Structure 1
Amino acid sequence: MEPTTSVRVLIVDDHEVVATSLAHVLDAEPDIVTVGVAGSLARARDLVTSTAPDVVLLDHRLPDGDGVQSVGTLRGLRPSVAVVILTASAADHVMVEAIEAGVSGFLSKTRSLGEVTSAVRAAAAGEAVISPEMLARLLPRLGSNGRAGRTTLTDREREVLGLLAEGLTNAAIAERLTVSVHTVRNHVANLSAKLGARSKLEALSIAVREGLLPDR
């Protein structure tokens, strides 16, 4: 039986071969549909508005601007969208900037096609698309104001936040805490709402800024 809903994906990449290949792979999946392909940020803005994607795969270098710097604009047009940065290689400071802009993660253009589809599903489900190793490397580089924030989290929310900082998925956190995935999702939703974050990586970025995570 085919799924009743599909993950709607917008691909933003000026390399036609890359974009076409990604669209072909994603459209072959029963639960994913490519709703548009854009070769520029201007076209991406139009398509985000007209096609209502769930996930945007966004190249970080485009002819009319920097993809990372456009994340805020795209999310402003569609607050619920998950933005995953496509990159062949990116310096740590670029990825830090992307996390602080609210991306849901990163996807290397060298990844296998199976990893691409898995990343799209993960982003659509609210998971962070980033390896624990990369997360551990980047977290200390996120900006901190050096002061404790005014956000008050429960002990359990702080515990969940700490496990998110380890790069654990909702399912892995549920197993660690011996609770249901549904319960973990609720904790993540609650702590994200308190922090004013729309993605797990953005929640971690804000938590670092407010001093809610221990020094790593």
Structure 2
Amino acid sequence: MTAGRPYNRLTTGARSQLFGETTMADLGLRPARLVVQSDRRLVREALAAYFSDARGFTVVGHTDTPHGLHTLCALGRPDVCLIDVEALTARTVRTLREIRTAFPGVDLVVAYTSLSLELLAEAVRAGVTSFVPSSRGLDAVLKLLRQRTRRAHTGPLTAPDGQALTDRELGVISLMSSGHTVSDIARLLRISPHTVDNHKRRVYAKFGVGSQSLAVSRAIALGLVEPPKTNGEARLWQPGQPPLAVVCGPPGPVLNQLVQTLVGRGLPFVHARSQQPLHQDHWARWHRGPVITVLVDPSDRDWLLPASLDTAVVVVQSAQPDLAVVTDLLATGARAVVHADDVPDDLPEVLSLISRGYVALSAGHATELAGWMAVRHAERGSGMPDLTAREQDILGLLAVGQTIRQAARTLGIAAKTVENTQARLYRKLGTRNRAETLTVAYRLGLLDPTSTSV
């Protein structure tokens, strides 16, 4: 997830008024917190992805093991656990009884392929709330979960106990998994580096680990850290409507020229004089055409504006940006980068392109970027990174938190060899540090979550 940029295409109130829907917010309800457990990775990740997109649910984690389920219940404060089993067994029933005893407020829902009447009776006595056969499909599971959770979720979450992760701690571990440093996290969350260190220490204590890389491994294995969602949903608008530009930037000649260009071309725009997100009922949210935020020389705080509207972003730079600046802006979320001198001639056409889903760069920057990507592609090769046996061994040791010296002793090789192999891993995976390497490796399937004890 990306700190400070929670994209939502329409606000809850706007969506319900536009389409006559009744939302959880309208009813004074909060989303139900869901944990998924299945020893089948494809099923587990598919269920987590499905319910992440389902209205009324927040997936706080997923795991493959009963122990991982217990850990997630302690850390994630779920309202309901969805347990997928091919066949209900006595061992599964014992696990469910332990979960019910430790977390009496959590609903237990079992999706099964087969079960016996004897074990069904045992599971009911163990505290399982509901059962649904897998053969009935996802819609039946969703309907059952909504029935189970509709009654329970008025008002805010209860305060976490000493073991549960707070929202801030979840934010810190997510940023750690993306390779951010302490200073990066402090800047993005607008807290001090000392506070970040305190959050990290509490996360380590709750996970029972002693290093950042092992904390990231545990978080990924428990499904607490997920790949960021792409901002790909299309805003619902009426065909043929022109794009609305929401303009934000410091007063000066660049901003003046930008506004004059929009006025001269007859393009609708809003001048957002504050860096704060637009309030919920601002008319810009109701524009039935595409909405694009135009930021002039943006600071970190300026990105709150497009985050609140979930719009594409065009950045106007008063100085000629080099490739490093352009790539950084693209990584932050910009769809186009325009030099101030090119605004009168190019900005209207750029807005049109962006509104139709394109990315716009100057020919010079596009050529430079293509060359850089060709070099990276040559370095990494095509498709899945091809790791040697030694690289795979060292990746596995990184995942369990071993230092370079510990890995060297485990493998009976020199510490320098481990360092060199680790550097090759970073190059092949396109990463900068251990935490980011483990995140990428898990997502590519190069590491199995079951390879770390959770």
- In the other structure, the counterpart of 1:11 is 36
Counterpart check, 1:48 vs 2:52: no
Structure 1 unaligned spans of 5+: 128-216
RCO (CA 8 Å, sep 6+): is it higher in 1 or 2? Answer: 1
| Secondary structure at the counterpart of residue 66 of structure 1 | helix
Amino acid at match of 1:24: A
Structure 1 counterpart of 2:55: 30
How is 1:177-196 mapped onto 2 (pairs within 5 angstroms)? none
Distance in 1 (alpha carbons) for counterparts of 2:114 and 2:151: 24
Matches of 1:77 and 1:52 in 2, distance apart? 12
Q: Per the alignment, in what secondary structure is the counterpart of residue 103 of structure 1?
A: coil
Residue 112 of structure 1: how far off its partner (Å): 1.9
Aligned AA (1:34) = V
Query: 3-state SS of the aligned residue for 2:131?
Result: strand
Asked if structure 1 preserves the Cα contact closer than 8 Å seen for 2:51 and 2:58, the reply is: yes
Distance in 2, matches of 1:38 and 1:19, equals 7
**Residues 1:126 and 1:72: Cα distance change in structure 2 (over 3 Å):** farther
Q: Which moved more, 1:29-38 or 1:107-116?
A: 107-116
Is the contact made by 2:86 and 2:113 (CA closer than 8 Å) also made in structure 1? no
After superposition, give the CA deviation of every residue in 1:84-121 in whole Å (9 maximum; x if it has no partner). 11211111111111111111111222222211111111
Partner of 1:116, secondary structure, is: helix
SS in structure 2 opposite 1:110?
helix
- CA contact 2:86–2:114 (8 Å) conserved in 1: no
Q: When the two structures are aligned, how many residues end up with a matched partner?
A: 126
Is contact 1:52-1:78 (8 Å) kept?
Answer: no
Q: Distance in 1 between matches of 2:151 and 2:95?
A: 20
For residues 58-207 of structure 1, the aligned pairs below 5 Å read 58-60=83-85, 66-125=91-150
SS of structure 2 residue aligned to 1:74: helix
The Cα shift of 1:66 comes to 2.0
In structure 2, C-alpha distance between the alignment counterparts of 1:96 and 1:14, rounded to whole Å: 23
- 1:134-185 CA distances to partner (integer Å, 9 max, x unpaired)? xxxxxxxxxxxxxxxxxxxxxxxxxxxxxxxxxxxxxxxxxxxxxxxxxxxx
The separation in 2 between residues aligned to 1:38 and 1:9, in whole angstroms, is 12
Unaligned runs of 5+ in 2: 1-11, 13-22, 153-454
- C-alpha separation between the residues in 2 aligned to 1:43 and 1:101? 19
Measure the CA separation in 2 of the matches of 1:13 and 1:126: 26
Contact 1:60 1:66 in 2 (8 A): no
CA contact under 8 A between 1:48 and 1:77: conserved in structure 2?
A: no
The alpha-carbon deviation at position 43 of structure 1 amounts to 0.7
- 1:114 counterpart letter in structure 2: D
Query: How far does the alpha carbon of each residue in 1:28-78 deviate from its partner, in whole angstroms, 9 at most, with x for none?
Result: 11211111111001111110100011111123469xx82221122112222
Tell me the C-alpha RMSD between the 2 structures.
2.3
What is the letter of the counterpart of residue 74 of structure 2? Answer: T
Partner secondary structure for residue 37 of structure 1: strand
Which amino acid counterpart does residue 3 of structure 1 have in structure 2? Answer: M
TM-score, structure 1 normalization:
0.53
CA drift of 1:3 comes to: 3.0
Instruction: Give, in whole Å, the separation in 1 of the partners of 2:98 and 2:73.
Output: 10
